[in-house]
Amino acid sequence: MTDQTLTPVQSPPSIRLRGLVALVTVLAAMLLLPVAIGDEFIYHIFITMCIFAALSTAWNIVGGYAGQLSLGHAIFYGIGSYVGVMLVGMGISPWIGMFAGAALAALVAVAISYPCFRLHGPFFTLATIAFLEVFRVLALHFRDVTGGATGMMIPLNIGWEWMVFRERLPSLIIAFGMLLVILAIAWWIRTNRLGFQLIATRERESAAKAAGINTVRVKLYAVAISAALSAMVGTFHAMYLTFIEPASAFSLPFSIQIAMFALIGGIGTVFGPLLGAVLLVPITEFARGALGGEAIGLHGFVYGVVLVLVALFMPNGVMGLVSRFFDRTKAEAPGQAGAIAKLPAQPEPDDIPGPPKAVPEPGDEIVRVVGLDKHFGGLHVTNNVSFKLREGEILGLIGPNGAGKTTVFNMISGFLKPDGGEVSVRAADGGWRSPVTPADYAAIGVGRTFQIVQPFAAMTVEENIMVGAFHRHHSTDDARHAARQTAERMGLARYLDAEANSLTIGGLKRLEVARVMAMEPRVLLLDEVMAGINHADVLRAIDLMLSIRDTGVSIIAIEHVMQAVMALSDHVIVLNSGRIIAEGKPNEVVRDPDVIEAYLGKEFTHDA
Amino acid sequence: MEVFLQVLVNGLMLGGLFAIIGIGLTLIFGIVKVINFAHGEFLMVGMYAAFLLTTALDVHPYTTAIAVIPLLFVFGMLTQRFLIQPLMNARDDHIQIFVTVGLSTALINLALLVFGAEFATTPPSGLRTALEIGPVRVLVGQLVVFGAATLLVVGLTLYLNNTQFGRAIRAVAQNRAAARLMGINVNWVYIVTFGLGAACVGLAASLIAPLYPTSQTIGTYFVLIAFVVVVLGGMGSITGAFLGAMVIGLIDSFSAYYIGSDLREVAVFTVFLLILILRPQGLFGGRQTLSHVS
Amino acid sequence: MGWSKTLKATVAAAAMMTATPALAEVTFGALFPFSGGLALLGEESARGLEIAVDEINARGGVQGEPVVLERGDAVDNNQAIGEARRLISRENVVAIFGSYSSSRSIAASQVAELAGIPYFELGAVADEVTGRGFDYLYRLNPTAEDMGEMIIEMIVEQVAPALDIDPTELTIGILHEDSSYGTSVASHQNRFAAEAGLNIVTTLSYPANIVDMSSLVLDLKEREVDVVLQTSYQNDSVLFLRQRHEAGFEPAAIIGSGGGYSMQQTADAVGTDLIEGVLNIDFTQYVVNTEFTPGLEEFVETYRAKYGEDPRSGHSLTNYVGALAVLEAIDSAEGLEPAQIRSAVDAIDIPAGTTASGNGVWFDENNQNQRARMMGLQWQDSRLVTVHPADAAASELRLGD
């Protein structure tokens, strides 16, 4: 459904080159066209275009990358405007005021977003609108500071120092320069660790947490950067307007407009907002000239209808169309044809796996679980569960549906807080820790997969694995290198450029494991990685797990496929109705009458 | 003391007004799970319709409800069917929000185009007559709005609990996938729910039109308040929305009198933000409305 | 690539679309909010300007050339700037007339100032419009300050005597919407009241889109306010007038400051009983002693003939008178260069009581017209009648029946 994977990073060089040429052409036109035409009004349109493109690109860092739909971004723009104008009033150049405004906006952004980021979806949007209203009303109320409703004016001191000019070219140069800087920052974020983490967070927050991402923190980075950039544009725009007032500085329609340029250009893409502004600003300006004076409301009506139509029929914006064009060219390139990732046929191993190879002696304990308890309402889903995991061991966790296996997993990976009991993990330095959040678990080396696969749909296979690799690596190149190695090992190397969504279920399960493996965990929690995949894949998965174990990683695996459990596990725990009913070597456990009863019902125990 | 009572009553009456607008929104927001930014414009459309009918046919404004409610019901159904439903499966809810924002912009400007910037005043027909009850004064029209809001809460609650279709709506609200498995036509339920939500606004429009001058921007004020009310009450909780409306009405009234009328919005939104942050399931909502653990 | 070509094509096409060949005519800009929330009175203001232009053209135009108006839509501040730029650079206007809204005027006039093009403000009242030391900005209409002064003057000279009470014994409450208009008028009311020794007991502000004013009414009622001064748009005027009645709050006088109080729809909305006797301060309206406003009847005739309805407010009249004075001055200037226009306009000396609005024209050092004044009005028998000052009054003030 999305074309947001189109980044300069993974496109083949020829397409990258073309995209670059297109981008440079647009940007050059934005600077050179008004100079060539030399008309003040054209200058104004292009300055407006740069301002909106810059604001929209900055918005996109939060609204697009992080997926947090802010409709209150005028707060930050307004803070930038006001701080800039106030400081000019004190004789301080807007070049300095710009950074003061940015700093304040970033602080405000973090302060108001921190509580809001705990809210999902529409609530964040509503909260941003509410904050915007509060800021506007406060700006009206504190007249001594803000000038109240009458607003504030700057003295018309001409010159670069004050950002006020008689001719228009310098204003265009500043607006254009700001746009370039903001685009560069947006591009840098998108192609680096922060961008991957933001998009992972947007796509699947829980999977992102499992990949060791502190999702709240990365979203706060995004909002702080976005707010600071918006504020800087706000300072410049205030100097350009020479006059600010609460009604226009903290305006909801203005906030919506900023978001709309991004929507129409392509939310979440680096250059979509730019494209949206470049297309829409001139059309809007001229349409207003053509329609506005004649019948009041007609122009706004057309505007609203266009917005609805774009959202309905072009949800990926103009960038969606552009990248569809690129995709077609990509499909023609050899070796890239069709991203259908059915797993390759491999030499079939023996139907019944032989006895496990020489199993290395389990080492010291690495995870201790003591007396875990969890209630959901009246349901006692985990009842005094205790077990230990040793280094280099595969621990099988089995039990009928609803036995509470996944709940236990959630509690030993930080996704659920136990009502009682304790989980401790031995850190690499040998000390014992009790992690709390998913990020803590990831940091100490516990990685997990999800029963229902959670790929980052808008990313390619390689990017998915890179999200895991970024847990260990800071630079993009290192992460890519590590991801490719992991993919090689997991048999996913051929699909690196495929969209995660195009994989088969078996492929997705392996992707899930690959992402965790790229985190180089010491303890691996696998939740039904073999459910729903075909026989051949099960056998391959068994080999894979054994090879992972052989590298010294300890594994806890929830599994339904008995064949796999028997073949893999050094030790098996059977859960039923939230409590451990049996424990031991795999072949002992399956003969336990309690276990048979739990799985098959009471009558079978007597026959057995 | 008299003043206090009057402020209290004013707050409750204001609460009735917010409630009757908020109830429709809580249906849409809580069950279809769409932020309908055009909700206020639905009210505006309804109020213009009530105005036109009242003046053209020379009838009591309340009688226009017979036509306005079905009109809004159909309008809501069409909105859901042709604007929201195609985007129900969109990966994020941004797109739906943009659609409703676009719809809102289009409707406001359409009203400007058709009716001009002038206000449309529906004849008050005696509904703005003040009744003196002991030391306090209330308007006949406000009492009717309050009563209608109460009846709407009771009626909708009975409907949702006791009819086949009402139960289907609740099932869909709880778990869309499970409801589909149970053989419920989820899309149809959404369409009808959206229509019901809009129809509530239609009732509100007929009752409010004689009390307030209609303008193309009347919805923008109410829509934010309505969202506050809905969030306060807990998503999809009708009783919650009613109680939330009372709370907001009282906060509005008391803050306007005791703090200052220019800061009433700050008071209302501050409470809203505090609730969002401290109790996102709403003051009166159940615990599970927002809990989201994968 | 494809889209950059499209962009270029768009810009080029638009450039061709808007470029008009220069004929032997003089182009002026008409910069008003023609769309958006301010459109109604923006349009009304522009009509006054259009009638002035028609009249000048009927007399042979300016310096022998016909006058053409180019409209600019100042829907928001950024747009006001853009349209001012377009008018100046693309339409080559010799001067700009505007703008009804003060914030649009403040934003757009700096463009004209930096470009050295005269800007004639015909209707925006905020103090900040003039007083910025601009050389090319002139304002012909009376201001918010004048509004505040006139209200206090009317209380002292007319209201208090009619109520048979010493002005300082009146309790006065100020109520205003919180945009620039309400805020600045209210601050002047406070200042002039203090100078006159009047007793202002409270100043309450609220957002113009308010839906319930019962708390404010209650506050005024509790303070036993005799005179309410409200500065408001239409919605809040209607709301206050209704809710004060419903709450049983009966002040001795209610005085509006233009806005909603000058509009016939407000009177229609609240009904004859509630609007009767309400006072108001605004630009010159239509029921006035026409000896003070020669040409008013002709203006109304022309307006009806041109637009097929009665003037919707006094904005058109005030814009007409201001524009006509400026156009006449430019006609007698030595040329159309900004400096020539300025010196011709600087020399204008029209006494009060000789124009259709009664306003004279004479600019002070801030380029503010010192001979334009607001008038005191009262709703009498559902008509807005001029009651102050005495030489313009069409009827006596009626209070305290």
List, for residues B221-251, the tens digit of each pLDDT value. Answer: 788 888 888 888 887 788 999 999 999 999 9
CATH number for the domain formed by residue range(s) C145-282+375-388: 3.40.50.2300
Contact (CB<8Å) A22/C1: yes
Contact (CB<8Å) A44/C17: no
Of A22, A48, A166, which has the smallest distance from its Cβ to C82's Cβ? A48
- The token pair at A290 is 């053509």
Mutation for testing the A interface, residue in B79, B109, B248 having most A CBs under 10 Å = B109
Distance CA B177, CA A30 (A): 49
Any idea which architecture C2-142+294-346 has in CATH? 3-Layer(aba) Sandwich (3.40)
Is position A580 within any domain? Answer: yes
Averaged pLDDT of chain A? 83
Q: Enumerate the residues of chain C whose CB falls inside 8 A of the CB of residue B222.
A: 211
Do A216 and A319 belong to one domain?
yes
Is position A354 within any domain? Answer: no
Calculate the CA dihedral of residues B236, B252, B246, B268 and round it to 10 degrees: 30
Do A155 and A63 belong to one domain?
yes
Is position A449 within any domain? Answer: yes
**Which of helix, strand or coil describes residue A415?**
coil
pLDDT digits (tens, 9 = 90+) for C310-365: 998 899 999 999 999 999 999 999 999 999 999 999 999 999 999 999 999 999 99
Q: Enumerate the residues of chain A whose CB falls inside 8 A of the CB of residue B261.
A: none
Count of Cβ atoms closer than 10 Å to residue C203 Cβ: 15
Mutation for testing the B interface, residue in C34, C211, C217, C236 having most B CBs under 10 Å = C211
Kindly list the distances between the CA atom of residue A194 and the CA atoms of A9, A188, A221, in Å, as whole numbers in the listed order.
Answer: 15, 9, 8
Q: Which domain holds residue A314?
A: 13-329
CB–CB of C204/C216 below 8 Å?
Answer: yes
Q: E strands, A269-418, where? A: 365-376, 379-390, 394-398
pLDDT band at A165, cuts 50/70/90? confident
Model-level pTM?
0.85
CA distance A68 to chain B (A): 9
Q: How many domains does chain B have?
A: 1
pLDDT digits (tens, 9 = 90+) for B169-196: 888 888 888 888 888 888 999 999 999 9
Mutation for testing the C interface, residue in B137, B262, B263 having most C CBs under 10 Å = B262
Q: Enumerate the residues of chain A whose CB falls inside 8 A of the CB of residue B30.
A: none
Do A444 and A460 belong to one domain?
no
CA distance C212 to chain B (A): 8
- Whether the predicted pLDDT of A300 surpasses 60: yes
Sheet holding A420-426, edge to edge: A379-390, A365-376, A420-426, A432-433
Do A446 and A467 belong to one domain?
no
pLDDT digits (tens, 9 = 90+) for C99-125: 998 889 988 998 899 889 999 999 998
Q: Is A496 on the interface with C (CB under 8 A)?
A: no
Mutation for testing the B interface, residue in A71, A123, A202 having most B CBs under 10 Å = A123
Q: Which domain holds residue B167?
A: 2-226
* Host H or E run for residue C119: strand C119-121
| CATH code where residue A415 lies | 3.40.50.300
Do A445 and A461 belong to one domain?
no
Given this model, what pLDDT does residue B71 score? 96
The more confident residue out of C254 and A302 is: C254
Is position A334 within any domain? Answer: no
Is position B186 within any domain? Answer: yes
pLDDT band at C259, cuts 50/70/90? confident
- Whether the predicted pLDDT of A532 surpasses 70: yes
Does the CA dihedral A190-A196-A201-A202 come out positive or negative? positive
Phi, psi (degrees; rounded to nearest 5) at A346 = -120, 160
Is position B249 within any domain? Answer: no
- The token pair at B96 is 């739906």
- Whether the predicted pLDDT of A310 surpasses 90: no
The more confident residue out of A350 and A459 is: A459
Q: Which residue of A has its CA nearest to C126?
A: A150
Q: Which of B29, B45, B77 is nearest to B236 (CA)?
A: B29
Q: Is B177 on the interface with A (CB under 8 A)?
A: no
Is omega for the bond preceding C294 within 30 degrees of 0, making it cis? no
CA distance B196 to chain A (A): 21
Is position A346 within any domain? Answer: no
Given this model, what pLDDT does residue C400 score? 66
pLDDT digits (tens, 9 = 90+) for C336-348: 999 999 999 999 9
CA distance C209 to chain B (A): 7
CA distance A116 to chain C (A): 27
Q: Enumerate the residues of chain C whose CB falls inside 8 A of the CB of residue B262.
A: 178, 204-207
Is position B182 within any domain? Answer: yes
- Asked casually if ipTM beats, i.e. exceeds, 0.95, the reply is no
Is position A432 within any domain? Answer: yes
Contact (CB<8Å) C40/B7: no
Do A47 and A195 belong to one domain?
yes
pLDDT band at A206, cuts 50/70/90? confident
CA distance B282 to chain A (A): 11
Is position B160 within any domain? Answer: yes
- Whether the predicted pLDDT of A220 surpasses 80: yes
Mean pLDDT of the region A427-443: 88
Averaged pLDDT of chain C? 88
Give start and end residues of each alpha helix (H) in C101-179.
102-115, 144-154, 160-163
Is position A68 within any domain? Answer: yes
CB-based burial, B242-270: b 16+ in 10 Å, e otherwise:
bbbbbbbbbbbbbbbbeebbbbbbbbbbb
Contact (CB<8Å) C89/A29: no
- The token pair at C113 is 């100032």
DSSP string, B216-268: TTHHHHHHHHHHHHHHHH-TT-HHHHHHHHHHHHHHHHHHHHHT-GGGHHHHH
Is position A566 within any domain? Answer: yes
Q: Is B265 on the interface with C (CB under 8 A)?
A: yes
A-contacting chains (≥3 CB pairs under 8 Å): B, C
Is position B184 within any domain? Answer: yes
Q: Which residue of C has its CA nearest to B210?
A: C269
Given this model, what pLDDT does residue C281 score? 94
- Whether the predicted pLDDT of A350 surpasses 50: no
Fold equal for C2-142+294-346 and C145-282+375-388: yes
Q: Is A147 on the interface with C (CB under 8 A)?
A: no
Mean pLDDT of the region C182-209: 92
Q: How many domains does chain A have?
A: 3
Compute the count of residue pairs across chains A and B with CB atoms less than 8 Å apart: 157
CB–CB of B32/B84 below 8 Å?
Answer: yes
The domain limits of chain C are 2-142+294-346, 145-282+375-388
Q: Which of C303, C293, C304, C261 is nearest to C279 (CA)?
A: C261
Mean pLDDT of the region B269-289: 71
Kindly list the distances between the CA atom of residue A468 and the CA atoms of A200, A209, A514, B250, B256, in Å, as whole numbers in the listed order.
Answer: 10, 10, 8, 51, 53
Do A554 and A438 belong to one domain?
yes
Burial zone of C227 (CB within 10 Å; 0-12 exposed, 13-18 middle, 19+ buried): buried
pLDDT digits (tens, 9 = 90+) for C29-87: 999 988 766 777 888 999 999 999 999 999 999 999 999 999 888 888 888 888 898 89
Of A42, A151, A278, which has the smallest distance from its Cβ to C103's Cβ? A151
